[in-house]
Chain A
Amino acid sequence: MDITKLTALSLGQKIKEKEVTVKEAVKAQLKKIKENDDTYHAYITLMEETALKRAEEVQSLIDRGELKDSPLAGVPVAVKDNICTKGSKTTCASKMLENFKPPYNAEVIDRLEAAGAVIIGKLNMDEFAMGSTNETSYFGAVKNPWNVNHVPGGSSGGAAAAVAAAEAFCALGSDTGGSIRQPSAFCGVTGLKPTYGTISRYGLIAYGSSLDQIGPIARNVSDCAALLEVLAGYDAKDSTSVKREDYKFTEALVNDIKGIRIGIPKAYIGKGIDQEVKDGILKAAQVLKEQGAIVETFDLPMVDYAIPAYYVIASAEASSNLSRYDGIKYGYRTKNFENLSEVYKKTRSEGFGAEVKRRMMIGAFVLSSGYYDAYYNKALKVKALIKKSFDEVFKTYDLILGPTAPTTALELGKNLSDPLKMYLGDIYTVAVNLAGLPAISIPCGKDSKGLPIGMQLIGNLFEEKKILRAAYTYEQNVPGIGYPWEGGNQ
C-alpha cells in the first residue's frame, strides 16, 4: 500500500484503527517528497526533524485514547510559506524573508496541532502571494504535476501541486484574489476559500489584509470540509475574525441537491473563456441538473470592474503591509550602505522581486495625495457595489456556478512578461474576495492536453455548507479526473 495516495480522512481512519502508525505516515510522506520534489519543487522547507518528533507525540496521545474526535489526528499537513510556524523558516518565497524564523505560530498552526495534525513542511508560492503562476517565487517556479511544462497556478501553487502529486495529503493555502481556487483548478484538486473572517489571519503574513483568507486544499470535498472544520473558529487575536453559529462543515457532506437553485453568470461563460473550459463547466452544470438542481444563466452586473478594483485595493494594502521589510529589524539587509536612506532603498531593491515591486508601486501611487479619490476611494465604492450585486443574486440563487479560471494551466515561462494578461486570468475569482464570499474550486474534467479544468461554486456569506453539499454531490456522481500518478502527462 502506498500510504501517500490515501485521502486525509482515510489515513486518519487507518491511524485510529492502528493499521498505520503516525510515524509510518510521516515517513512515507517525507520519502515521497524527497523522491519527487526535485521535479515539482512544491516545498521550500521540509520539517523532517520536527515532524518525526511530533509523530511520536501524536501517536502516544492516540494510544492513550485522546484525539478520538479528531478525524485528522496523525495526518501530515503541509502549509503555505506565508503562514508563520514558530521556530521554522517562513519565507513568503522571498529573498527578503529567506531566513526568517517567527517566534510565534499562526493561529491556524495552533489549531492544526490541537487537532493532532503533523506539520510536514512549508510550501512554495508566488513571492508574498503576488502572482497567478508561482513563477515569482525567489526559490524557483513550481511545476504542474499533470504536465511539468505547465505552471501549477498561484499563488498557492506549491500547495495545489503538493496535494496533486501525493506530496501532501492536504494543505493550507491563502486566497486574496483566487490564490487557493485557481491553483486548485490548474492542479485538479479541491480548494476552498471561506467567508472572510471565518479563519483567523493571525500569523498569516499579510498581502491584502481586507481580502486575505486562509483555506484548505485537498484531494476531495470531504477532506476539504474536515480540514476547514479544524481551521475555522473565532480568534480574539484577529479583530476581523467573526463568531459564527455553525462550524460543523462536515455535516454538509450529503449526496442530495434537489431543488437547489444554481445560477451561471452569462459573463462567466462568455467572451474570453477557453472553449474547452466552457464545455467542461456546461457539462458539470448538466450533472448538477440531473441531480435535481435548478440551473439557469443570469446577468451579474459590475463584474467587469472587479479586476481593476481588486488590483487597486490589494496593491494599496500591500504597499503598506510590505513597508515593514526595511532591513532594520529582521529579514534581508543590504551589505553596502552609507546612510539610512540607502539601507531602505538598497534593501528593498535587492530583497523584493519584480512583481512585488510592481504592486507596491501601484499601491503607493493609488494612495498618494491627489490620486486617493480617483483610485482607492473609487475602488472601495466598486467593492461595495459588487457586494450589493451579489446580495441581489443570492435572493434568487443558492449558489453561483462558473469556471475558476478562463483557461487550464498555462505554459511555464510565458506569463510574467505581460502582467496585464496575467491579471485578467483572475477575472472569475477576485469578485468573491471583494465581496468576502466563500467559494470552492473542484475538478470537472480535463482538456485535450490532459490538463484539469476547475469549476467554481460561490455561496452567500457564511454558506460554506451549501457549497460543500453541492460540491460533494457533484463529486459523488461523476467518475472524477483521477490523479497525475495514474496517467498524468509527465
Chain B
Amino acid sequence: MKQYETVIGLEVHCELATKTKIFCSCTTAFGGEPNTHCCPVCTGMPGTLPVLNKQVVEYAMAVGLATDGTITQSCKFDRKNYFYPDLPKAYQVSQLYLPICQNGSIEIETSSGKKVIGIHEIHMEEDAGKLIHDPWEDCTLVDYNRCGVPLIEIVSEPDMRSAEEVIAYLEKLKIILQYLGVSDCKMQEGSLRADINLSVREVGAKEFGTRTEMKNMNSFKAIKRAIEGERKRQIELLEEGKPVLQETRRWDDNKDTSFAMRSKEDAQDYRYFPEPDLVPIEISDEWLNAVKAGEPELRDAKRVRYLSEFGLPEYDADILTASKKLADIFEAVVDLDKNPKEVSNWLMVETMRLLKEREMEPEEIFFEPKNLAELIGLIEEGTINRTIARDVFEAVFTGNVNPSVYVEEMGLKMVCDEDAMRITIAEIVTANPQSVEDYRSGKQKAMGFLVGQTMRAMKGKADPQIVNRILKELLG
C-alpha cells in the first residue's frame, strides 16, 4: 500500500467574552429564556443599524498580536448573504476583504518535536441564533439570544499533518485565548468550535489532494476521531481508484463516521460586499500600542517565572500553567503567604485527581483560593493532619466550604490530650498481644499495624508522630 500524508487546516470560531454583543448593548450571557437577550438591532428589525463594540476590535487585536500576526490597521466589515431562519438579517456581518489580522503563527510541540503552524487570518464576525425543533408540536422555533454575540474566526494554513498536531494547536490556541482573557473557551457551550479541512496525498506529492470540510466540532476527543475516520475514508476511496469529492461533511461521533452534507456544486454564493452601515475601522498606532502594552503575561513567560520566582520544578510549572484557572488559583493562594511548593502539591495531586474523577475541566473549579490557603494553614498549625486534610479539601473542592468551620462542625481536630491517647493506645496494646510479641521479636511491620489500629480507633484525628512515640514508650 502507498504511504499517505494527511493535510489539515482549521477554522476555529471563538466566542469573545465581551459583556455586550458586537453591534448592540444586549448581554452575551449564555443561557437565558429564549429571545430575552435581544433587541431590534440584533434581531435585524427594519431600519435598525449596527454600532461596533470597540472591545471586540481590541480582543481580536490582542489575539492577533499574541499569535505574531500583522494587524490590518485599516480594516472593514463585509456582508455575507444567505437565507436561514437563525440569521434574522439574512446576512452575517463578517470580514472577507480586509480581515483584522493576517500572517500569524503558533509554535506547537508534539512527540516529534516543535513545529510552527501558520495562521492565514483572523476575522471578526457576529454569531447567529439557534433553531430548536419541538417534536411535540412538530415545529421549529428560533432563539435569537446568540445573535450578534461576537466571534473571531482563526483560519490556519494547511500546515497540520496529524490529529496530534491538531490537538496540540487547539490546546495552545485555547491557552492563549484564556490567558488573554478574551474567551472562556467553553467547548461544551460552543464558545470554541472548529471546522476541519482535511485532504490526503501520497507522501512526496507536491499538490494537495481534494479536501473535505467537517463543521462545528466542539470536543477534542471527537476532533481526534473525526480526523482519523476521515483520513481512513479518503485513503480507502483513493485506493479503490475513486475520487474524493469536495464537500461539507458532518461527523457523527456516535456512529464514528462522517456523512456528506452538501457538495461544492451546491455551495452557496454568499455575494459578499462591504457593509455600508459601518464605517471602516482605522486602528491608529497609539491604539495598537495601547493594546500591545496591555497584553497580560502569557503562558511561556509565566512558566519561566514559576521556575525562577517560586523555585517550582519544571513539571509543576508545566501543569499549573497549562490552565489559566489553575495558575490564577496558585498565585492567589501563594499571595496569602503560603509555601509555593505546598500550594502546587495541592493543585497537582488532589485537585487533578478530583477533576479527573468528576470529568471536569480546570475552568469549572469554583472554590475560592482563600479556602485552600486556610486549609494549608490548619495543617501548618497542627489543627488537622494530612489525612484528614485530604477529606477537608474534597469538601472545599465540592462545596467551597470554609475549612475551619468545616473541621469544627465535623469534629475533625486532632486530639492533643496525651493522657487520653495513652489510655486508647494501652487498650490497643492489650487487645493485640501477637503484634506486641512480633514487634518485640524485631518485626518493624507490627509497629505500623499498631499505629494504624490506633489511628482507626481515634478516627484519624491523631498526630501519627505522637502515636508512634507513645507506642514506643509503652512497648519499652
Contacts and interface: CB of A to CB of B under 8 A. Distances in A.
Interface string A331-348: 000000000100010000
Contact of B273 (A202, A330, A372): A372
B83 A323 contact: yes
Contacts, number: 99
B142 to A, nearest CB: 7
A48 to B, nearest CB: 24
Given A239-B52, A320-B91, A367 B279 contact: no
B43 interface: yes
Given A330-B45, A367-B271, A239 B277 contact: yes
Nearest to B86: A328
Contacts of A330: 45
B277 A323 contact: no
A238 B51 CA distance: 7
A236 interface: yes
Interface string A362-374: 0010011100100
Given A316-B273, A367-B271, A376-B273, A326 B90 contact: yes
A239 B279 CA distance: 6
B273 A369 contact: no
Nearest to B80: A320
Contacts of B91: 320, 323
A328 B142 contact: yes
B49 A238 contact: yes
A106 B88 CA distance: 20
B48 interface: yes
Interface in A171-227: 201-206, 208-210
Given A239-B277, A364-B271, A104 B51 contact: no
What band does the interface of chain A fall in when counting residues whose beta carbon is under 8 Å from B? 35 or more
Given A209-B277, A239-B279, A329-B88, A320 B79 contact: yes
Nearest to A206: B47
**Interface hub of B46, B269, B271 (most chain A Cβ within 10 A):** B46
A36 interface: no
Given A324-B88, A367-B271, A367-B273, A102 B45 contact: yes
Contacts of A210: 276
Contacts of B83: 323, 326, 344
A87 B360 CA distance: 49
A84 interface: yes
Nearest to A201: B49
B81 interface: yes
Contacts of A367: 81, 271-273
Main DSSP-derived SS at the A contact region:
loop
Nearest to B279: A239
A239 B3 CA distance: 56
A239 B278 contact: yes
B110 to A, nearest CB: 38
Interface in B112-138: none
A203 B47 contact: yes
Nearest to B24: A237
A208 B274 CA distance: 13
Contacts of B85: 326, 328, 340
B319 to A, nearest CB: 46
A236 B51 contact: yes
A326 B84 CA distance: 9
A320 B271 contact: yes
A83 B44 CA distance: 15
Contacts of B269: 368-369
A239 B46 contact: no
A202 B24 CA distance: 13
B143 to A, nearest CB: 12
B50 interface: yes
Given A320-B273, A344-B83, A367-B271, A239 B50 contact: yes
A368 B49 contact: no
Contacts of B88: 324, 328-329
Interface of B: 40, 43-52, 79, 81, 83, 85, 88-91, 142, 269, 271-273, 276-279
Given A100-B46, A340-B85, 14 more contacts: A90-B46, A104-B48, A202-B48, A204-B47, A236-B51, A239-B52, A317-B276, A320-B271, A324-B46, A324-B90, A329-B88, A364-B271, A367-B273, A368-B271
Interface of A: 82-84, 90, 92, 97, 100, 102-104, 106, 201-206, 208-210, 236-240, 316-317, 319-320, 323-324, 326, 328-330, 340, 344, 364, 367-369, 372, 376
9 contacts: A92-B46, A203-B48, A206-B277, A209-B276, A240-B277, A240-B278, A324-B90, A329-B142, A376-B273
